[in-house]
Structure 1
Amino acid sequence: MNILITGATGFLGTQLVQTLTNEQHHVYLLVRNRQKLDALYKTLPSDKHDLVHVVEGNLLDDQLGVSQDDLHVLTDTIDVMYHTAAYLSFDEDERDRVFDINLEGTKRALNVAKLINAQTFIHVSTAYTLGEATTGYETLHPTDANFVNTYEESKCYAEHAVMNEQDKLNVMIVRPAIIIGDSETGEADTTFGLYGILRTVYLLKKRAARRADSPVYRLLIEQDTVSNLVPVNFVINVLHAALHHGQPGTIYHATNPNPPTNGEIFAAIREGLDFNQVNIVSYDEQENLTDEELRLNQPLEVFKQYLNRSILFDRTNVTSLLKAANKVDLTMDHAMLLRIVHGFLNETS
């Protein structure tokens, strides 16, 4: 197949390119940053480089900034378009930019897909378009929900824009939960989510080593709440399965069927970082924290809604998809969490 990808030089996109070129698909990459493109090439065997075709463009521009010559090349050539590009920011001050990239950028990508006569459009969203609800279904969520942040809201609106094109394109939506590193190697190229917590604990270990006493630091994270972590290679499995077995008009939750509790995650963090001088306590204990601990917790405040709320995700569609593709579902255990922590350490050291 000939496959056009936005966001191909990102954490998820790079692994998607690796998977698709391993299957001998030709991939056309919408690229704005040439430096990141060089890094992507280094992840591919030299005999796969001929399968990669660069299309200069920008999600912020009309027709994605693609030249007329490149549009001519793409027309009646592209079979499938993966739209993985997005702007991940929870900053309300960046609301206009978040919506311009995540909503308007998706509309521009859809218009290009129609313009070049692509048959299928696979949109990568987020499992957290459900607002403050605690159950997520594999259906569109209302755009008038109470959203946790601007990012979630923009992605919800984008999903509606995608589904509005069902009469012109075979559209599908894949909703990953909190993406972490590779389940086997632990390798990751992200600083978000779990990695913000890992970095906090890592810095606490360094701070404790410089002190004569042996303080025990407290972080405000609910012990029994589950965090829906999904390894990047599992998300790629779902995206790959959608390419060959996905059903038009369907939403797939790339979520963890048995997500770990924060207590289980922290057990792996303590062991993996070899640092036991940190505990997680309920937000009810916030008033008992020292001034130093309050300052240490400030970087985690942005994740409060994710660390304090267990969400049940319906996985009916994705379970059927993985079965049709003969792919194994995700099983996350302590050993896998340790590999993720060790992967962080390898990247940090």
Structure 2
Amino acid sequence: MKDYVLITGATGLLGRYLLRDLTLADARLAVIVRPARKASAVQRVENAMNFWEKDLGRPLPRPVVLEGEITEPDLGLDSRGIRWVAENCGRLLHNAASLTFESTSPTGEPWRSNIEGTRNVLELCRHAGIRQFHHVSTAYVCGLRQGLILETDVDVGQPLSNDYEKSKLQSELAVRNASFLDQVTVYRPAIIIGDSTTGHTTTYHGFYAPLKAVAAISIAADRTITGNINESSRFPLSGHETKNLIPVDWVSAVMTHIFTHPEHHGKTYHLTPRHPVNSRLLADVIEETMGLYRVRFEGGGRSLVGLTENEALFAELIQVYASYWKDDPIFDTTNTDRAAPHLPCPHVSRKMLLMMARHAVSINFAEPRDRPVVPKFDTPAWLEPLCEAHHTSQASLEPKVALRVLGHGGGDWTLSLSNGRPVSATPGLPERGSSLVETTVDVLAQLRGGATTVEAELAAGQIRPQGGLTEAWVRQIFQSLLQTSTATEPQQLPA
């Protein structure tokens, strides 16, 4: 059974929350991630998982990481990666997207990621035999429509506000028109903001854009005797426009619930709040957070004239979001309410927005750093010789045991055995119910360093056999792994 779900966009804001929530829901995950300038794909995912481990206070399983890029054919996967996907993945959750509002080139963003990338993802699904597709679209494929927008509405000839909306509508249509797919589930979130409890975010679009613009201006701005910014900001709005803001943790919780309950698949879900906020409230939050108490509303759709130097700079900094500052329609949430009645959207109040704004300012709108963090023990490097052996042997015919190593530097593998000794390994777990042994990176590091024994960790419950695997077999497997001459110690990364 192909039990893994392949995820794109796993290192973005929503993707990170989906990694956490789907992992906690015991979903088997594989992610396609591109490397960064200072970190490999594996290291980028490790950074995200490390964040959640610190937040939760316990080690977590790791997804299978495949280095790739959605804008390349076959998503940039090598033959080994493509074969692994075909053998293990039965579902795909397409979350990767460009948030570029206006394109500077017909081959640039957002077209490159949102249209060409989606086509590449669909082609991989076609060739790999993936027939269940979960697609993250946007509520704003409705474009400039007003009134009630049904979850069943797609392309009704609506005018669209910007290139982002155009690309996302084309992307959703491409998925819906892929005749080889057996089932398509579409999630349409509204405007995603930070965590409803902590304010945590890794991106600063939408609500954060004017806040960030004021922060940039405030560096050199004059201040009053009370410390407030002695400048004004002008919006071509009335102050009554409504926007649908949704906390990222709620979006992920609802998506995870729907994803893990197959009876809800095959529908479209508007992920929108019960109560939108108006632009006057957003301005109030900016004023209070930044000490800028001269926000002026000039009226919806009016051109701004007679701007001061800083007012002109502010207008320039938020110009890319000009199409964003319009009144939102009403979004039907019938399917979402039926699927997740126990997960109402948290009310996005003044208090919550102030918390999120202050959090963003306090960390200076910082984005996640992809600097590698060295694990105590690098299990993938340790098992790599066995993974290489898998591709040069007939080990697939041997008995198999699953190895799960929790924590930073861990992962999941299927070990092929010969006379009770591992002779090869492949990333990922076999079908559920198979024999499995679970431990942590900390335990492996101590075993490898001679600070403990397999017997002691079995007795302490730190090595946990499951699925009928006897302790005698576990001892033999671990002793063989620890004694193998090809096992390598992890190398320290340069500072």
TM-score normalised over the length of structure 1 = 0.89
Deviations 1:158-199, CA, capped at 9 Å, x for gaps: 111111236533211111111111111111111211111111
Residue 22 of structure 2 corresponds to 20
Query: What residue in structure 2 maps to residue 191 of structure 1?
Result: 204
In the TM superposition, what is the alpha-carbon distance from 1:15 to its structure 2 partner? 1.4
Identity across the alignment (%): 27
In structure 1, what is the equivalent of residue 80 of structure 2?
69
Q: Secondary structure at the match of 1:45?
A: helix
Residue 282 of structure 1 pairs with residue 299 of structure 2 = yes
Contact 1:273-1:341 within 8 A present in 2 as well: no
**Structure 1 residue aligned with 2:350:** 334
- Counterpart CA distance in 1 for 2:70 and 2:318 is 30
Find the residue that maps to 2:323 and give its secondary structure.
helix
Q: Which has the larger radius of gyration?
A: 2
Q: Which residue of 1 aligns with 2:12?
A: 10
- The reply on whether 1:139 has 2:171 as its aligned counterpart is no
Provide the C-alpha distance between the structure 1 equivalents of 2:231 and 2:61, rounded to a whole number of angstroms: 56
Aligned-residue offset at 1:244: 2.3
Alignment of 1:1-349 (within 5 A): 2-34=4-36, 35=39, 36-45=44-53, 48=59, 50-97=61-108, 98-135=110-147, 136-142=149-155, 144-165=157-178, 168-209=181-222, 214-245=230-261, 247-283=264-300, 286-287=303-304, 289-292=306-309, 293-323=311-341, 326-348=342-364
One-letter amino acid of the counterpart of residue 198, structure 1: L
Shift of 1:224: 0.2
Q: In structure 1, what is the Cα distance between the partners aligned to 2:127 and 2:305?
A: 59
Paired residues, number: 347
SS of the residue aligned with 1:173? strand
238-247 or 82-91: bigger deviation: 238-247
Distance between the aligned counterparts of 2:65 and 2:125, measured in 1? 16
Deviation at 1:125, TM superposition (A): 1.0
Q: Which amino acid aligns with 1:177?
A: A
1:215 and 1:320 map into 2 onto residues whose CA distance is: 48
Kept in 2: contact 1:180–1:188 (CA 8 A):
yes
d(CA) in 2 for partners of 1:209 and 1:10?
36
Aligned-pair CA distance for 1:113: 2.5
Structure 2: where are the runs of 5+ without partners?
A: 366-495
- Which is further off, 183-192 or 336-345? 336-345
Question: Structure 1 residue 305: deviation in Å?
Answer: 2.3
Q: For residue 117 of structure 1, report the CA deviation from its aligned partner.
A: 3.0
| Distance in 2, Cα, partners of 1:166 & 1:174 | 19
CA separation of 1:287 and 1:341: change in aligned 2, threshold 3 A: closer
Q: How far apart are the structure 1 equivalents of 2:353 and 2:164?
A: 27
Q: Which has the higher contact order (CA 8 A, sep 6+)?
A: 1
Shift of 1:301: 2.2
Aligned-partner Cα distance in 2 for 1:302–1:170: 36
AA in 2 matched with 1:174: Y
Letter of the 2:362 counterpart: N
| SS in structure 1 of the partner of residue 142 of structure 2 | coil
Change (3 A) 1:312 1:207: farther
Q: 1:19 to 1:176 in 2, by over 3 A?
A: same
Change (3 A) 1:183 1:37: same
RMSD after superposition: 2.5
Structure with the bigger percentage of helix: 1
Q: Counterpart of 2:241 in structure 1: which amino acid? A: T
Q: Which stretches in structure 1 are left out of the alignment for 5+ residues?
A: none
Q: Alpha-carbon deviation of 1:229?
A: 1.1
Q: Is the 8 A contact 2:101 2:321 kept in 1?
A: no
Q: Is the 8 A contact 2:234 2:297 kept in 1?
A: yes
Q: How far, CA to CA, are the matches of 1:289 and 1:185 in structure 2?
A: 40
